Amino acid sequence: MAKPEKPHYRCEACGAQSAKWSGQCVECGAWNRLVESVAQPVRQTRYTNYAGAPQVSGICSLADIQATATQRLATGLAELDRVLGGGLVPGSVILIGGNPGIGKSTLLLQTLAALAGHLSTLYVSGEESAQQISLRAQRLNLARERLHLLTETCIEHILEQAQKHQPQVLVMDSIQTFFTDTLQSAPGSVAQVRESAARLVQYAKHTNTSVFLVGHVTKEGALAGPRVLEHMVDTVLYFEGEAGSQLRLVRTIKNRFGAVNELGVFAMTGQGLREISNPSALFLSPHEESVPGSAVLVTREGTRPLLVEIQALVDQSASGNPRRIALGSDQHRLSMLLAVLHKHGGIGMFDQDVFLNIVGGVRVSEPAADLAVLLAALSSYRDIPLSRNLVIFGEVGLAGELRPVPNGQERLYEAARHGFSRAIIPKSNAPKKPVTGLRIDAISRITEATEAAGIA
Ligand code: TYD
Ligand code: MG
């Protein structure tokens, strides 16, 4: 084995290298940005491919490149395929982030078990013992004989084993536990995480292996260790879920092979993660009768329409500075909508606290939620419930006008499918053909919307 190199430091801000660590970078003056790295020159390794043969690239025309559509592998979990952009791309590197205990290891073990029927796979764990993983597989009723496991934390050893076993899908759980011999810092440090990930990315590209990297999330909600991981990988997925709830959402944050903001929905059960292919019903809270302050929105997550309930509570404020709190949506947008309601609808809530919540822990960031937020707030303010059969969507402009939103037709169909019988939507979203079972109010101003909803 090569003799370990001397420690070497590099400024994360300006890239300056130094032989010893100091608190401040002598080049750019940034504080605390020196991290251990592999000493340059990297040249010797850089221009060789994985087998060690020299590899020199030349300039060519894009037209000369034989681009065949990448064959995607179905993972056996349709919700996971959805967030990956339609299946697993060979040679891609996928980072799955999420809080400890949310279900990352469970999801990947189930995925590998589903894939193991027709592909060779390898699960590398630096966190749990072989017994623990085997027990979990047993509890999940997975075919254990086809699952291959390696408990090891040294990247060099792992890659050596991987080259022997040649898995087509490799799971690394978790990236914070691995280390490479070339660095002296502890596993989990920025330098180790980055260098280990870089090795794995290089391995994935050269051997056309799909690699899943599991990453823990810090208390602040960022992927522990470096954001730089997000730049290195092809796809970044985040695992979300509320404490005490079975619901688990997997969201695409970045994808070189598909759309972002795609959402996969799972439930954590006693038998592992179960897919929920029709999540709309899940996000609607079951009310016996209609309550003031509740509105149903048809939003879109990635490529699919989703019905969610928006709840607002408008209450007399005890302080001179009333509160505007939005959970699951944008606070500034809420303030803006209340200003529009005052200016163009003549209804002021200056002495009221306004709280907003999206039921089920989903985040809605698209402007199509505007009208539903506005009507939910007004419904609570007036203490008049909206009809239980009503769905709402539409963007609200600063002039009090309603603006169209993308995929209006599809949203209406989703509402009709779930038994809603009325919709208030922007005029430009009015469908050409009527939607069976749905009475549609297609309007152009917020004042018309409040009238149509019966809370003007
Ligand atoms: P895990 O996949 O170990 O989480 P992560 O790898 O993200 O840290 O999930 C562990 C949690 O999931 C644990 O709290 C128990 C729960 N769980 C179930 O509820 N049912 C199951 O079948 C399994 C395997 C786990
Ligand atoms: Mg785990």
The model's pLDDT over 143-152, given as tens digits with 9 standing for 90+, comes to: 888 899 999 9
Per-residue pLDDT tens over the stretch 213-249:
999 876 555 555 556 788 899 999 998 887 777 888 8
Domain assignment present for 228? yes
Indicate the length of the chain as a whole number.
456
**In this structure, are 388 and 242 located in the same domain?**
no
DSSP letter string, 383-430: T-PPPTTEEE--EE-TTSBEE--TTHHHHHHHHHHTT--EEEEEGGG-
Residue where a domain stops, chosen among 277, 303, 320:
277
Which is more confidently placed, 334 or 283?
Answer: 334
Quick: pLDDT tens for 263-289.
899 999 989 999 988 888 777 767 677
Domain ends where: 249, 277, 305?
A: 277
Q: How far is the C-alpha of 294 from the C-alpha of 309, rounded, in Å? A: 7
Q: The domain that contains 241 carries what CATH number?
A: 3.40.50.300
Q: Are residues 247 and 297 in the same domain?
A: no
Regarding the beta carbon of 272 and ligand 1, being less than 6 Å apart is answered yes
Ligand 1 atom nearest residue 102's Cα: 7
Ligand that comes closest to the CA of residue 177: 2
Same domain, 272 and 292: no
Range in 99-113, 282-296, 381-395 with the lowest mean pLDDT: 282-296
Best of 239, 268, 275 to mutate for ligand 1, by most ligand atoms within 8 A of CB? 268
Please say if the pLDDT value at position 45 is more than 70: no
| Confidence category of residue 42, pLDDT binned at 50, 70, 90 | very low
- What pLDDT is recorded for position 43? 47
102 lines ligand 1 (CB under 6 A): yes
Q: Are residues 293 and 260 in the same domain?
A: no
In a domain, 134, yes or no: yes
Q: Do residues 152 and 264 share a domain?
A: yes
Higher pLDDT, 188 or 81: 81
Query: Rounded to the nearest whole angstrom, what is the distance from the C-alpha of residue 212 to the centroid of ligand 1?
Result: 18
Q: Counting atoms of ligand 1 from 1, which one is nearest the CA of 109?
A: 2
What is the span of the domain harbouring residue 15?
7-38
Q: For a substitution probing ligand 1, which of 95, 99, 102, 106 has the most ligand atoms within 8 Å of its CB? A: 106
pTM for this prediction? 0.77
Q: Where are the beta strands (DSSP E) in 294-376?
A: 294-301, 304-316, 324-327, 352-358
Based on the structure, what is the number of domains in the chain? 3
Q: Kindly give, in sequence order, each residue whose CB lies less than 8 Å from that of residue 17, ignoring residues fewer than 6 positions away.
A: 8, 9, 10, 11, 37, 39, 40
Residue range 409-443, pLDDT digits in tens: 999 999 998 889 999 999 999 999 999 999 999 99
Q: Could you tell me if the CB of 237 is within 6 A of ligand 1?
A: no
Considering the domain boundaries, does residue 64 fall inside one? no
- What are the tokens at 94? 């996928």
Q: Is the CB of 216 under 6 A from ligand 1?
A: no
Q: Among 231, 241, 196, which Cα is nearest to 361's? A: 241
The predicted pLDDT at position 245 comes to 78
- For the record, the structure tokens of 354 come out as 């306004």
